[in-house]
Amino acid sequence: MLALAPLNVDILPDDCAVLKGLLVKLHAQYGAAIEAMHQQIMKLRHAQFGASSERLSAQTELFAEVLDLPLPPVVKQKISYERKHKGRPALPKDLPRQRIEYHLDDQQKAEFDSVKPIGEEVSETLQYTPARLVVLEHARIKYACTKDGQSTVRTAHAQPSPLPKSNADASLLAQILVATYADHMPINRQAVIFGRHGIDLPRTTLCDWKLASAELLQVLRAPLIAHTLAAPRLHSDDTTVQLRDSSKNSTHTSRLWGYLGAGQRLDGQGNWVEHPPSVVFEFTKTRQGLHPQQFLKGYRGYLQIDAYSGYDALLKSGDIVAVGCMAHARRHFFEVARKDPSGATGLAAQALAWIAKLYEIESHIKDHPPDKKLLTRQTQSRPVLDQFHAWLVGHASTIPPRGELGQSFGYALRQWSTLVRYTEDGILQPDNNLIESAIRPVAVGRRSWLFLGAERGGHVAATMYSLIGTCRLNGVEPYAWLCDVLKRLPNHPVTKLAELLPYNWKRQFTNQT
């Protein structure tokens, strides 16, 4: 923080040359700091009020090259002149339908000598049925049983609720969990909604049910972690959550670490098969590097990460190969280009053009198998990357390193070996967007629930974001999955817990139907 003393005009020199020298000295001393503060204020204003899309409002003009360096590719904007079809979208065919027939009444029929149906005109409307609460009475019938002259009373077994001494059905527990961790609805709002349906469920009761049912599901973490770490590639990133400290009546910043496994591998017949994607979150009170080091202990393979130094210790052994994130590199240049699309920041626009060319190549091969992706990246992406690198090196020496543009160049050059690693194996991705998308529900949710009430809630949130996030990755409807799994879990064999994970559950459900 700059602290300037009050200006006393009487002590200023009268000599013009001395005054000029004083101004030059002050500019050198404070100019860079003031510019850095200005950039920080602009960044904060954009974060609070600006658009979240990383798109420039218009194509920036690229100035003529002074250095003998590769020219950035020209980004062509594709304009489609196809006329969009207007009208209501068709309603899904798999939704249940109820037929209502409309006939001429007797008075209308009386106007004619003969009336005979010859066809029909059908239109559809979408009806909404509000949720309703039903009390299920679980009657356990008692039997008087006799064997070998001995009499006994046997009562039929039933477990009405997954939670001991609770009157909450699995469907209600599933609704509370989905509303909290998928729909980002705080418990107090859920209590109001249940009140509209005619039942008073206190917030403390709902909170207890939420925590207890999520802790029941925590037994699925071990097989989920094992499946995630067995993936051909792993993505990792972290995000902040506020944890309440009841002793100090305040909050402090804690972390949710995300680990997402995905990719393809060859089977015994030489075919590429997809590893079902999954995500695991881990709650920690700090951002120390020891947390990912402990979680990934023993892991071997590709790890796609940002430039956080906490991962460095993992990479020393060589068992884990770091893959960089081109989206992170692009974001640095975008922030510069967005603020001022003219003057020196034209270099940022040119950097975006280089990266756009790389993503254009990726757009044509996104559905190709890894071996074909590798061939295309080696023949098309590598030459573009080599030219981009030469362009970065050529311009880096002409830019002040502490400015935002200089930092953008510095990040790209420091991370270059990891940024280009995606061209070495077709199973890799150019960026870490998969894990960022998996983390986004956490960011959306904390705007509603604001903070975690206790460390216990942090571990529960990690479990539920893991399970619901894995449902989302595999196209599984989380409410239906939770309803079924919460019913099965109390009596399910411990050795077969992996059967209940969303990707395996989906296959079972598909085969049954």
Q: How many angstroms separate the Cα of 277 from the Cα of each of 69, 81, 266, 323, 476?
A: 42, 37, 16, 18, 12
Predicted confidence at residue 155, as pLDDT, reads: 93
> Is 37 or 99 the better-scoring residue by pLDDT?
99
Prediction pTM value: 0.83
- pLDDT digit string, tens, across residues 338-370: 876 554 458 998 999 999 999 999 999 999 999
- Sequence-ordered list of residues with C-beta below 8 angstroms from that of 353, at least 6 positions apart, any chain: 62, 72, 73, 74, 75
Give burial (CB, 10 Å; 0-12/13-18/19+) of 426. Answer: buried
Give burial (CB, 10 Å; 0-12/13-18/19+) of 480. Answer: middle
- Sequence-ordered list of residues with C-beta below 8 angstroms from that of 125, at least 6 positions apart, any chain: none
Predicted confidence at residue 498, as pLDDT, reads: 96
Predicted confidence at residue 1, as pLDDT, reads: 45
- pLDDT digit string, tens, across residues 304-322: 999 888 899 999 888 999 9
CB–CB of 39/345 below 8 Å? no
Q: Residue 263 region, left (φ>0) first, then alpha (ψ -120 to 50), else beta?
A: left
Gap between the terminal Cα atoms of the chain: 66
The tokens for 391 are 């362009």
